[in-house]
Structure 1
């Protein structure tokens, strides 16, 4: 028997110890089955075995120490099982032609073997999604044939600055989600064939080395969730094949380079959670393939560029938590493939264009905490049950959704209400002013009469009007000597008052308007 290849079946049960009796077996491929239990130690007897693939099963327990005896091994994979424990410390020491080691997606712990690449033949080293700890072994710096390295989703520690050397064949390197610190070495720029570099989720600091701009084959670069500082690395604009860039959750400053928009293959851009300032450099004929843009939580200002509406955004447009001002561009309505739109926590004003209802692919929106006014759109996505907090913090918005005041549906009724609301207070005010004016005028006249001639007021108070008598005008003229001033007894609000003695000694007080009989004799 030369090989045993039973991959991609539904085989189950334990691996039989009798496998170790097949001394001439050079390929044992059982991946993608349902085998369970532990790996038998007898497997170490397969002294000519070159390929062992037990991946994607349900194996558990620890790796037997006897795997270190497989000296002719070239390919070793036990990924995607439930294996635990540590890797035998001498694994690889006596296996000079070992090119591929895959230990990913298990529950391995402890440190990596120190002599795994003793003969520098290792090309693929994949140990992601385990619980490995400790610092990286020195052989990683000298194993120059490496083309694919995945260390992500472990608990590795240590200074990463000099952990790697120059690897001219390296195409993929994942350090993400560990506890590495230190700085990113400029020597990474000498790994000319890297296409995918992901180092997010560590504590790497310092500036992003401009030498990364020499990686002309680079397509994906993720340095997010670290402690990088300094200005935006302009050299990234040289990476003509780059289509995925994430520098999020760092301390980067300065403006976003306009050269970025010239990268014609860009599809995903995430610069969120930094300290970038200035405007968003979206110019005509830039970012032509961009499908996802996240620049939230920065200090960008100015208006939202109208050109964003000409992009081919399909998944995300997140401009939240900046200081964008002005109105929402009408052009955004052209993003009919966009699924998520977030412009919250800015200084935007004006209304939400009704044409936004044409964005038929929307599944989530957030316009909260701006100064937007007017009715929200009513068609398309906006007629569904909207997120509870999508519009809060905009005092001038109205609409038929939770948290907003309903808009007035009949403008004529609204105008009448406004007119009544203005006229009623004005009329009331005029009425009050009129009453006060009349009262004051009356009081003034009364006081004037009393204060000028108190004897006249006293005379009026003591006058007893028993009956009215009629006298001719000529008698009055004669008695007052044509209203001579010597007969004047007072002036008041109702005219001048004269005293005349008529027939039978009757004393008459003569007013401009009436004649009153005085009985004083």
Structure 2
């Protein structure tokens, strides 16, 4: 038996060593090489008279015969320039062709696209022109999933593209029709195979409409992703016939109209993303209770109106619900409390009412980590109600600009009408007390179910620990002193108490917040002097104490010396950055003491003498500088002007 095995190994080795590709395949590959203006060094191994199975980037099938067959041409990132030869399409056994990440130009020959053998074609990240011919329809006899990658991230420049591929049905065929194209999306009835399970064309600058008669033919479709294109028109009623559909992604297009009631028939749906379109109408005609598997519903930036439908609250597996920036109105229903798995809820920028009722309902949502409800509940009042508690797992809260009137209820929310004193209970908030590194550990590292957008910075956040730790109570009606306990909030990166009615001194304890990037105490009634220890806040990139009643000299050491226009509106302040300069008496106040007449005379004489020497020194300096011809433009006299404050990320409004 061992001798027999040895003989077989020798036979296979001998056959493998003698097998080579055919002369036809050699010629096809050399024609491709001849069409390149830059071959990336391929010519070193691609030589006439040698076996092409040994050439760089070429793989042949393992066959116990005289002739092998080229199955792979893998030449990604080879710095190739020039055109793609039609000869590649004449390789009879070619399965995989990868020419991505080069500088190829011209077009993709129809011989390549009509190859009956290729199952993976990747020419992305090139400079190809017109990739596909408009006619006739291209036909492939594939037995494996077709994977096309022609133009990732719109790197290639393509003309009109009719989706005219005829894919032969089979048990394993057409599971993927994932590609990236630029141009006109025209679904041709001859192309749409009933065996396609995934149709994905995201971010490809496609435009057109969804035609109902063609949607019907995609009966096995599980994923329809046409997001971030330029599609218009309605969602066709025939969408309801896709009873295997799990993902419907039409976000960031120009589609309009209402959601058809037939969507309720897509009982396998897990994700619905219609974000950033022009959809309108009410949602009550959609029976969401027929979608038991639904986990994420995102309708951000549309024009939906009416009440939030009760049937949504039947989706017990829902983890992310975003209805922000629409025209929903009315009160939240108690049914919202049934969504025990809900972790992400965004209702900002609608016309919802009854904030007390909303908080009473939401407090029972034990899984809730993100709650965005700003720009609702306008001019409402929250009464003193000790029963509003819960929210044990809440990590992100936005309740901005609701014009709320509250008596004792408080959260870190700005642009409302909150009154009373700032409660010292804030120091009990562990997220604000911990140092920055500890805070990042406490915040859940898992990504949000849906990204959170900042309208001011146009950024999106996908994790809670990406947010700056802030306490923003600005633009309210708080009164009283700034509690000294605020110095215990070592985790703060941003502290905003501006535009309130706070009075008294700036507490010395604020100087302990050495991680601060932003400190804004402007537009209050603060008095007293500026603590000199503020110079130790070395990371400040924004500082503002304007429009108060502060007095005395401005500290000119450390980071405070880099700010100029943040002290205005304090007529009793003085310093080099203001027109009101400090006199020597103000800058260095003399201690109170009782002097005798003799001591007083001696000090006067000493002072006059020092003054004369000082005046003489200034006169000599002027004489020297006048000869040096240095321009008097302030660039030398104020080196702090060379300091630049770094930009600060502001999260003013979230959706």
Normalising by structure 1, report the TM-score: 0.67
Matched, 1:196 2:314: no
**Computing the radius of gyration over CA atoms, which structure comes out larger, 1 or 2?**
1
Residue 401 of structure 1 aligns with which residue?
Answer: 577
Q: Is the 8 A contact 1:273 1:297 kept in 2?
A: no
C-alpha change, 1:395 and 1:205, in structure 2 (3 Å) is farther
- How far off its partner does 1:95 sit? 1.6
Q: Is the 8 A contact 1:272 1:298 kept in 2?
A: no
C-alpha change, 1:241 and 1:342, in structure 2 (3 Å) is farther
Matched, 1:383 2:505: no
Residue 27 of structure 1 aligns with which residue?
Answer: 146
Residue 375 of structure 2 aligns with which residue?
Answer: 249
Residue 396 of structure 2 aligns with which residue?
Answer: 268
Q: Distance in 1 between matches of 2:427 and 2:588?
A: 46
- How far off its partner does 1:181 sit? 1.6
SS in 2 for 1:136: coil
CA root-mean-square deviation: 3.7
C-alpha change, 1:158 and 1:82, in structure 2 (3 Å) is same
Residue 407 of structure 2 aligns with which residue?
Answer: 278
Residue 113 of structure 1 aligns with which residue?
Answer: 236
Q: Is the 8 A contact 1:346 1:370 kept in 2?
A: yes
Residue 75 of structure 2 aligns with which residue?
Answer: none
5 Å-filtered alignment, 1:422-437, equals none
Once the two structures are superposed, residues 24-70 of structure 1 have per-residue CA deviations (whole angstroms, 9 ceiling, x without a partner) of: 25332417363432333322455442211124x5x122333438723
C-alpha change, 1:411 and 1:397, in structure 2 (3 Å) is closer
Q: Distance in 1 between matches of 2:262 and 2:395?
A: 36
SS in 1 for 2:329: strand
SS in 2 for 1:66: coil
Q: Distance in 2 between matches of 1:217 and 1:83?
A: 36
Out of 119, 125, 145, the residue aligned to residue 10 of structure 1 is 125
Q: Distance in 1 between matches of 2:532 and 2:588?
A: 23
Q: Distance in 1 between matches of 2:505 and 2:266?
A: 56
C-alpha change, 1:409 and 1:172, in structure 2 (3 Å) is farther
- How far off its partner does 1:262 sit? 6.1
Q: Distance in 1 between matches of 2:513 and 2:520?
A: 13
C-alpha change, 1:363 and 1:229, in structure 2 (3 Å) is farther
C-alpha change, 1:247 and 1:400, in structure 2 (3 Å) is farther
Q: Distance in 2 between matches of 1:68 and 1:137?
A: 26
Gaps of 5+ in 1: 417-521
SS in 2 for 1:132: strand
Residue 453 of structure 1 aligns with which residue?
Answer: none
Out of 221, 240, 244, the residue aligned to residue 345 of structure 2 is 221
Moved more, 343-352 or 203-212: 343-352
Matched, 1:182 2:310: no
5 Å-filtered alignment, 1:41-120, equals 41-45=163-167, 47=169, 48-55=173-180, 59-66=182-189, 69-120=192-243
- How far off its partner does 1:322 sit? 4.6
SS in 2 for 1:61: strand
Q: Distance in 1 between matches of 2:509 and 2:335?
A: 38
- How far off its partner does 1:76 sit? 1.0
